A and B are shown apart, each in its own frame.
Chain A
Amino acid sequence: MASAPRPERVPRLLAGCLPPYPPPPPTVGLLSMEQEETYLELYLDQCAAQDDLAPPRSPLFNPVAPYGMYILNASNLDTALNSNPEVKEASGDFSSVDLSFLPDEVTQENKDQPVISSRHETEENSESQSPQSRLPSLSEQDIGLGLNSSSLSNSHSQLHPGDTDSVQPSPEKPNSDSLSLASITPMTPMTPVSECCGIVPQLQNIVSTVNLACKLDLKKIALHAKNAEYNPKRFAAVIMRIREPRTTALIFSSGKMVCTGAKSEEQSRLAARKYARVVQKLGFPARFLDFKIQNMVGSCDVRFPIRLEGLVLTHQQFSSYEPELFPGLIYRMVKPRIVLLIFVSGKVVLTGAKERSEIYEAFENIYPILKGFKKA
């Protein structure tokens, strides 16, 4: 029994025998190579299984790797082993489990929540027969992440799986990914939905990048992967698409990858992981480094017509309106640094955000201004 399982042997090890569990990482945010590989492997294995399955049951939930990973994060070997077979079953059952809460690396929160993980397991053990009820609680967990800024929201949502419905109405809250890398998204307390109006911008597109950290043979990828396009004369990257979440990726030979088309941060990360998995399956030692959201696009409707001529006159230094060029007014907000496209019909598109909160803040700022130019 190897004391430090090497990446390629990990799957076999985890399948049955008892590996000496690597101790939890000493510092937040740092993960040893093996652990990272372990998690990635398991995680992505499940992803692959999901990809081959029929389309998920409900559009709300994202497929893939369930608790297997999460459980391993806690330093609780026995339960890990016990639940492993169940995990496999369960994963087969829930084709649409949201995995976005799973971190890229083990973080402080996971260390703090051994209690929660065991609760996870008991819940799972008891409910493994009812995947449907599990699904809401999982997505609710995701929602719960958004609602509370403390990382212990997890425990909260675990305790009240039945509260799903009450929580559901506002799925898109700021503070995404509170469970994932604490280093990336600082917890900013946010005023919830805008106070002046009930309108919340919906995210339409997220562009993210990740570094797979290995040189890739694009031709090989294009030949063996399904849904891949490669035309070296036109563009030096493979264009790959997956159905769930519906996204497109540009994969470059340097190992860098751009993922577009997701509708939320979690989906973008999930999709990026799936692509990484595909690349990995083709034999490349793909990793998942520096995942970063580069741009977020949101849109909403204020539901009244707007007199753009007035707006461009009073906010000259921020706006440009050339109707013969583009029917919308381009408003460059300074704080936060967001570009808004404002149309006569009242539709507003916000782009240039790196975080969800920027979109919400920008809309909060522009709404009273737009009301002032309401075309009666």
Chain B
Amino acid sequence: MVVFGTTFFNFDSFIGKTDSIEIIGKSVFLCCYHNILPLLNDSGRYSLGDARRPLHETAVLVEDVVHTQLINLLQQAAEVSQLRGARVITPEDLLFLMRKDKKKLRRLLKYMFIRDYKSKIVKGIDEDDLLEDKLSGSNNTNKRQKIAQDFLNSIDQTGELLAMFEDDEVDEVKQERMERAERQTRIMDSAQYAEFCESRQLSFSKKASKFRDWLDCSSMEIKPNVVAMEILAYLAYETVAQLVDLALLVRQDMVTKAGDPFSHAISATFIQYHNSAESTAACGVEAHSDAIQPCHIREAIRRYSHKIGPLSPFTNAYRRNGMAFLAC
């Protein structure tokens, strides 16, 4: 059953895999993600792959989607927390929610490790940082890694979760995003590149207080702790990233490529790359004038949530309230 247009793989071959989004993500080549929140301006989305001046409607829509998803996620995490009898939402709860999706979990773990590593290095550089760290109690090195490892250790029955720590496979989605960014930046001049870099640095974790306010946890009894907030910020970022990925795919799908008898068999990556290689300038222009429309986003979400394939009712645990989480 071909679901996503003629340029995509036959979906039948992927029945049983929990992560249909990964397959889609593989085919997306153009961009990475960006955030739309009021915290971030539109340049955040630009860095993730949208056009230089994204549409306002799209921004509003994506913000809405991300917000809803995060609130739902928080509520589910609160429920898990309550089950444990804890008073705060801890990263363990979020990890627990994500346990079904190996790839996304692995990406989250990698992110946590990189965060640990980066604080370790930056600490060694500045003597003030070193003092700060010493003063705040010297158990900070690799704390996120420890949390993750301990938790996964405790819930892992079959050993596959723990195997993820040693897993060194390439994360395809990440790879795609990197390649896309590389392609984009190759054709930029230094002013554009500087702007691009700046917008890439935007994230939800920079303005943590604003993020927390935006999330509005005040109505909840159980609130997330610091590391859990970090993870939530990361998940919000990932959600936007996924959305943009999907939307780009959808948009590309909408372009009819008439006359190519093999178009249903060739992967989208190849076609788009080929096109862009031929006309890099044109591609640049196209990217500028072709911002992601809200309809692309809506279609992307629809496809993602659409229950497809014989096993779909059993694949995603978070569909209870009808919402499929993009980030996990």
Given contacts A325-B114, A330-B121, 4 further A-B contacts (CB under 8 A): A237-B134, A297-B125, A326-B118, A330-B114
A-B contacts, 8 of them at CB < 8 A, read A250-B131, A297-B125, A305-B193, A320-B114, A320-B117, A323-B197, A324-B202, A351-B125
The reply to whether B131 and A248 contact each other, CB–CB distance below 8 Å, is yes
Shortest Cβ gap from B36 to chain A (Å): 14
User: CB-CB < 8 A to A341: which residues of B?
Assistant: 121, 125
Task: Tell me the B residues contacting A by CB distance below 8 Å.
Answer: 47, 111, 114-115, 117-118, 121-122, 124-127, 130-131, 134-135, 178-179, 181-182, 184-186, 189-190, 193-194, 197, 200-203, 205-206, 237
Q: Which residue of A lies closest to B122 (CB)?
A: A326
Q: How far, in angstroms, from A324 to B181 measured CA to CA in the complex?
A: 14
Selected from A237, A295, A297, A325, the residue in CB contact (under 8 A) with B118 is A325
Shortest Cβ gap from B185 to chain A (Å): 5
User: CB-CB < 8 A to B178: which residues of A?
Assistant: 309, 312-313, 316
Q: How far, in angstroms, from A305 to B117 measured CA to CA in the complex?
A: 25
Q: Does A375 contact B (CB under 8 A)?
A: yes
User: CB-CB < 8 A to B111: which residues of A?
Assistant: 322, 325
Task: Tell me the A residues contacting B by CB distance below 8 Å.
Answer: 204-205, 207, 231, 234-235, 237, 239, 248, 250, 260-261, 295, 297, 305, 307-310, 312-313, 316, 320, 322-327, 330, 339, 341, 344, 349, 351-352, 375-376
Shortest Cβ gap from A336 to chain B (Å): 16
The reply to whether B185 and A307 contact each other, CB–CB distance below 8 Å, is yes
The reply to whether A310 and B121 contact each other, CB–CB distance below 8 Å, is no
Q: A375 and B118 in contact (CB under 8 A), knowing A205-B125, A205-B126, A324-B205?
A: no
Q: A344 and B197 in contact (CB under 8 A), knowing A207-B130, A234-B135?
A: yes
Shortest Cβ gap from B31 to chain A (Å): 12
Q: Which residue of A lies closest to B177 (CB)?
A: A309
The reply to whether A248 and B127 contact each other, CB–CB distance below 8 Å, is yes
User: CB-CB < 8 A to A261: which residues of B?
Assistant: 127
The reply to whether B190 and A327 contact each other, CB–CB distance below 8 Å, is no
Q: Which residue of A lies closest to B204 (CB)?
A: A324
The reply to whether A205 and B127 contact each other, CB–CB distance below 8 Å, is yes
Shortest Cβ gap from B252 to chain A (Å): 21
User: CB-CB < 8 A to A352: which residues of B?
Assistant: 121, 124
Q: How far, in angstroms, from A297 to B121 measured CA to CA in the complex?
A: 10
Q: How far, in angstroms, from A317 to B47 measured CA to CA in the complex?
A: 23
